Amino acid sequence: MLKGYKKLFLYPEFCRVFDSKGGDQVSLVKCAFFTQFSGMIKYFYLILLGLFLYLPGLQAQTRNTRTGTPAKVQYGTASFYADKFVGRKTANGDIFSQDKMTAAHNTLPLGTWIRVTNLRNKKAVVVRINDRLHHKNPRLVDLSKSAAKKLGYTGQGLTRVKVEVLGRKQPSEQIVKQ
């Protein structure tokens, strides 16, 4: 069958190097099987690799894929601060107050102004990022209670939101009113 053919196969536990005299039939059958399907196995691994590279793109986009900077528009879940944080320092050194229009976000730079829109009732507020969420927290943004009241979700605790980055400069009154 493999007369005069020498080959070292991919699976050495099943295959041997064959010389012109051949080998036992069991090893020949196993080697023929694995060499026939080794191409298919390579394609299977390539498909798996492609899926692992593609699936992270299906999650909510929080970073611009071209520059690595945070995306200008993000969608996710918003919550609001618990009262136990009142009087504590935030990540940028401010003292936290539930009365200020502030927020915590993990990827946007501190001091960035954002417009947060409640997707259920279309109410929007403009807040400044001055704190960070816990790194294991899956939420997009954590708002002060005054911002959450204006968005109308303090009764539920969580809501789906759209976050638009406005920049580092304080927005004008026209932008805040929109």
Q: Give ∠ CA 111-139-60 in degrees, rounded to 5.
A: 95
Given a contact cutoff of 8 angstroms between Cβ atoms, the answer to whether 20 and 4 are in contact is: yes
**What's the pTM?**
0.59
The pLDDT of residue 173 is above 50: yes
In the three-class reduction of DSSP (H, G, I as helix; E, B as strand; rest coil), residue 88 is classed as coil
The pLDDT of residue 108 is above 80: yes
Q: What residues does each domain of the chain span?
A: 1-59, 73-177
Answer CATH for 73-177 from 1.10.10.10, 2.40.40.10, 3.40.50.2300, 3.40.50.1370: 2.40.40.10
Instruction: Report residue 76 as tokens.
Output: 């996710």
Q: Are strands 73-80 and 159-167 parallel, antiparallel or unpaired?
A: antiparallel
Write out pLDDT tens, residues 143-166.
Answer: 999 999 999 999 888 999 999 999
Q: What rounded mean pLDDT belongs to the chain?
A: 76
Task: Among 15-29, 121-135, 147-161, name the one with the lowest average pLDDT.
Answer: 15-29
Longest dimension (CA), the chain: 90
Write out pLDDT tens, residues 58-106.
Answer: 444 455 444 556 668 999 999 999 889 999 999 999 999 999 999 999 9
Residue 59 region, left (φ>0) first, then alpha (ψ -120 to 50), else beta? beta
Instruction: Report residue 27 as tokens.
Output: 């090893």
